[in-house]
Chains A and B, each alone.
Chain A
Amino acid sequence: MPAVSKGDGMRGLAVFISDIRNCKSKEAEIKRINKELANIRSKFKGDKALDGYSKKKYVCKLLFIFLLGHDIDFGHMEAVNLLSSNKYTEKQIGYLFISVLVNSNSELIRLINNAIKNDLSSRNPTFMCLALHCIANVGSREMAEAFASEIPRILVAGDTMDSVKQSAALCLLRLYKTSPDLVLMGEWTSRVVHLLNDQHMGVVTAAISLITCLSQKNPDEFKTCVSLAVSRLSRIVSSASTDLQDYTYYFVPAPWLSCKLLRLLQCYPPPEDGAVKGRLVECLETILNKAQEPPKSKKVQHSNAKNAILFEAISLIIHYDSEPNLLVRACNQLGQFLQHRETNLRYLALESMCTLASSEFSHEAVKTHIETVINALKTERDVSVRQRAADLLYAMCDRSNAKQIVAEMLSYLETADYSIREEMVLKVAILAEKYAVDYSWYVDTILNLIRIAGDYVSEEVWYRVIQIVINRDDVQGYAAKTVFEALQAPACHENMVKVGGYILGEFGNLIAGDPRSSPLVQFNLLHSKFHLCSVPTRALLLSAYIKFINLFPETKATIQEVLRCDSQIRNSDVELQQRAVEYLKLSSIASTDVLATVLEEMPPFPERESSILAKLKKKKGPGAVSVTELEDNKREGGELNGGGDRGPDTAAMAASNASTPSPSADLLGIRSAAPVGAPPASTGSLLVDVFSEAGPAAPSAAVNDDGFLSSAPPSEDPAPPLSEADELLNKFVCKNNGVLFENQLLQIGIKSEYRQNLGRMYLFYGNKTSVQFASFTTTVSCPGDLQSHILFVPLCSETKPSNRITQWKAITSSLSP
């Protein structure tokens, strides 16, 4: 039986609602509603002024109709009129209507604000609360302008009733959130903090929310709240269950207030005052102890309330990250929850442990639960719980358990929800790279990723595996072999074809000796996938084919045949057509040397941060989870630096730039692992013996045994671009010797001497390639007048074999001063 009281029966409303519910169809409902709307309209327009009760009833009916989903375009005036009634029930309906159907008519706004003003100054707590609730619910700019200075006064005035203070605190909170510029700090702020000591727990509950918000924007102004909050929390936590009677919920004292206090404390660093800190630590220990005590009630409400406090306390412990004992205890407690029969608790424990994993104090403790977490990953029935388990595995991963965790994540991936696959792929790729000691494991892992979840393997992931294989000699053969085998699967993912095509194109020669993976076999394997692939993959394959022609001349005829056919050279896609045509031509006219040079093995990639990490952060957003990565990197950075002080700067920077890659670019250690058999050549090393004033600082390191050209890979000694060549020239203003020009094939050096009107200049040409220059000639051109003053004498015209200075020519010149 619906509860109706004597005051506001509103029988007409009940009848109307019954009528609507009894309508058999949507049309009947609309008909009934329209009938009522017409009735109300006429009543509102009528000559007779409606009494308060009727107005209230009709406005309430309009509200009901609106909440059913129908538009209401009248009734606002009548609702506003109700505000000036001195009857609570009428006021309440009026306020409710205007809070739900917010109207931006300026006249109405003015009237509403007027009514609110009257109620606020009425000294009637019931009316004051109605007004405050309206402001809190609507929170418009106009209301903020009208009342932002009034509310703080009400809040801290000595004679304000408790319930009004509660409402005023939260009303002020709303105004502060929507119009912070209008809520000015003032005298009231210190008094607001002292509301934490109020004897009315409801007032404290409301005030705390306000203080939490204010202190985030003005931490210094409100920092006195910390010690007050600790005292309050301490009193609650140590209270007997009979103390806080009204606020004890299923034998738990003030659970929501405790949670709010713990949350407020998370806005500040640990208290500096030793006594306060000691008290707080004691509090936290008590909370942890209570979790171990037998429960006072079997009801789930009791355990939920208790655990709500526990989880918030653990959050605070993690936030401080300074009490190892507490962190370990927290971890152990969560560990127990991992196997609790309630799914909620298992979920929350997994989630909370994730953040514990990145603290150095609790990382090891978290790792002890790896088997339980793996089991959760396999057996939990709620996918969100499985996902937390996967997140935790990622967070607890380090060198000691990387292989195990990556294996588990891969097997999870096979059956994972599609919505989380991309993120899982990124995470596995990051872990595999970060913790690879044996890079063949890394290659296997990525190829497995492609096999299991190819669609979700983004470009960043397979680019990265290529980069790593290119940069690491030791894994190239393994990669070629593994990719070759993977391609033999009947249905292999297109990403596999891309990776396979690229790797075989570069390193297919490493497995070509085995008849099972001979060049033609490799080619046929790749080409068998060709027609199944999209345009970008086909383009990549064409490049692989031309590389094959270079690597395996015996395949040239076969491949040219393929390139020659109409479907390639007349392909409708411009890129494919161009490649086919150009590669075909290149294979026909280029000499083997040129072909070899053009299709030389890819040089190692320069060191760069992992774009995969950046992509993961972008995906997750700069939020809590991505910070796990930051923590990983910081920890990694810490390890590299001998675990020293990470410093707040890195943390702050990392936090504020959540989307930028890790500052620790050396994450992979690729530079240290790259083939540095030959030390980098410095520019003048080539001709160092020619110049008596020795060249640059490290010639001995740079030069090989016979003192000449060092066999540095071209990429580490790049050709200076044109601007640098100009620079080289300019230095001869004050120097007589040095390198005049250099590129990948040739280095030209000058040595000159001058005495009064005589000058002598030697030009030296160094062959940097490993092949002999044929038909090498030089010409020197002199501008205008100079010609007559210069005598050219070729001193030597022999070409000598590679890696040596092949010829040098001296020019003597005589210059008049």
Chain B
Amino acid sequence: TRRSCMSAKCKKILQIRFILIQNRAGKTRLAKWYMQFDDDEKQKLIEEVHAVVTVRDAKHTNFVEFRNFKIIYRRYAGLYFCICVDVTDNNLAYLEGIHNFVEVLNEYFHNVCELDLVFNFYKVYTVVDEMFLAGEIRETSQTKVLKQLLMLQSLE
């Protein structure tokens, strides 16, 4: 159809490129990469993302163009949760994807704070992998995710 050329979505494989949790000072609390970057590139990206999101305030949208991608982000207390996705991806879906993830963390760590993410960094990866995998959303039910996490927690 005439329109089929319009859907850039059809032409490209859309996916999450990376997920970052950073504090205001720029310290990274979680970095999950879904495409290949070498260590230098990762460092550069982390710095750029930090620079881009920390200058924004309430009058801005939660979406920001970033290189050939875009970042959907939200600030929770002192932490910025950023998901980098493709330009034609669904902004609101990922904005709530972030929120869903934060609510799970909150439940799992009982009113999560930044320190929880520091001391339990290796567990945060487990939470991430339950909800996101291979650059896609894997599971969205908070009930199911928490059930699984509690089960894993009981294992030796």
Chain A residues with CB under 8 Å of chain B are 2-5, 7-8, 14, 17, 21, 60, 63-64, 67, 69, 87-89, 92-93, 96, 126, 133, 136-137, 139, 163, 166-167, 170-171, 173-174, 177, 201-202, 205-206, 209, 213, 216, 245-247, 249, 254-257, 259-260, 263, 266-267, 269-270, 301, 304-305, 307-308, 311-312, 315, 318-322, 343-344, 347-348, 355, 358-359, 381-382, 384-385, 623-624, 627, 630-631, 634, 646, 648, 651-652, 654-655
Instruction: List residues of chain A with CB within 8 A of the CB of B44.
Output: none
Cα-based distance from A307 to B125 in the complex (angstroms): 29
Chain A residues near B87 (CB, 8 Å)? 623-624
A584 to B8, CA, bound (A): 58
Q: Which of B38-88 contact A (CB under 8 A)?
A: 43, 59-65, 87-88
A residues less than 8 Å from B13 (CB atoms): 177, 213, 216
CB nearest neighbor in A for B72: A344
**Residue from B10, B129, B137 in contact with A256 in the complex, judged by beta carbons closer than 8 Å:** B137
B136 touching A173, Cβ below 8 Å:
yes
Q: Contact between B133 and A167 (Cβ–Cβ < 8 Å)?
A: yes
**Chain A to chain B: the 4 pairs with minimum beta-carbon distance, closest first:** A655-B5, A308-B92, A321-B3, A2-B119
How far does the alpha carbon of A344 sit from the alpha carbon of B129 in the complex, in Å? 28
Complex Cα spacing A343 to B140, Å: 26
With both beta carbons as reference points, the residue of chain A lying nearest to B65 in the complex is identified as: A384
- Number of B residues near A (Cβ < 8 Å) is 63
> Separation in Å of the B29 CB from the closest CB of chain A?
10
Minimal beta-carbon separation of B78 from chain A (angstroms):
15
Using a CB–CB cutoff of 8 Å, the interface residues on chain B facing chain A are 1-10, 13-14, 28, 31, 43, 59-65, 87-88, 90-93, 95-97, 99-100, 108-110, 115-116, 118-122, 125-126, 129, 133-141, 143-144, 148, 152-156
When the two chains form their complex, are residues A93 and B122 in contact, meaning their CB atoms are under 8 A apart? yes
Chain A residue numbers with a CB within 8 Å of B65 are: 384
Decide yes or no: A318 and B155 within 8 Å by CB, A2-B115, A202-B138, A301-B96 being known contacts: no
Closest to A10 in B: B122
Partner of A634, one of B2, B28, B90, B120: B2
Q: With A259-B93, A308-B90 in contact, is A384–B138 under 8 Å at CB?
A: no
| A266→B9 contact, CB < 8 A | yes
Q: Given A3-B110, A627-B5, A170 and B134 touching (CB < 8 A)?
A: yes
Contact A311 B90 (CB under 8 A): yes
Chain A's nearest CB lies how many Å from the CB of B109? 5
Once the chains bind, are A319 and B6 in contact (CB under 8 Å)? Answer: yes
Cross-interface CB contact of A255 among B14, B43, B93, B135, cutoff 8 Å: B93
Which chain A residue has the least Cβ–Cβ distance from B141? Answer: A246
Known: A5-B153, A171-B133. A308 touches B2 (CB 8 A): no
Nearest residue, chain B, Cβ from A656: B5
> In whole angstroms, what is the CA distance A776 to B153 when docked?
108
18 A-B contact pairs sorted by A residue (CB < 8 Å): A2-B119, A7-B154, A7-B156, A14-B119, A21-B118, A63-B122, A137-B133, A170-B133, A170-B138, A201-B140, A201-B141, A249-B96, A256-B96, A311-B91, A344-B92, A382-B59, A382-B61, A651-B2
Q: Is the CB–CB distance between B122 and A315 below 8 Å?
A: no
Residues of A within 8 A of B121 (CB): 64, 67
Chain B residues whose CB sits within 8 angstroms of the CB of A319 once the complex forms: 3-4, 6-7
Pair B143/A205 contact, Cβ less than 8 Å:
no
Most buried by A among B8, B99, B134: B134
Cβ–Cβ contact A246 & B3, under 8 A: no
CB of A321 within 8 A of CB of B99, answer no
Q: How far apart are the CA atoms of A333 and B153 in the complex, in Å?
A: 46
The CA-CA distance from A651 to B4 in the complex, in Å, is: 9
B109 / chain A contacts, CB cutoff of 8 Å: 3
Q: B103 to chain A: closest CB distance in Å?
A: 9
Q: Point out the residue from A3, A96, A266, A348 that lies within 8 Å of B91, measured CB to CB.
A: A348
B119 and A301 form a contact (CB under 8 A):
no
Contact status of A166 and B2, CB under 8 A, knowing A7-B156, A305-B92, A623-B87 = no
- Is A320 within 8 A of B6, CB to CB? no
Tell me which residues across on chain A come within 8 A of B118, comparing CB atoms: 17, 21
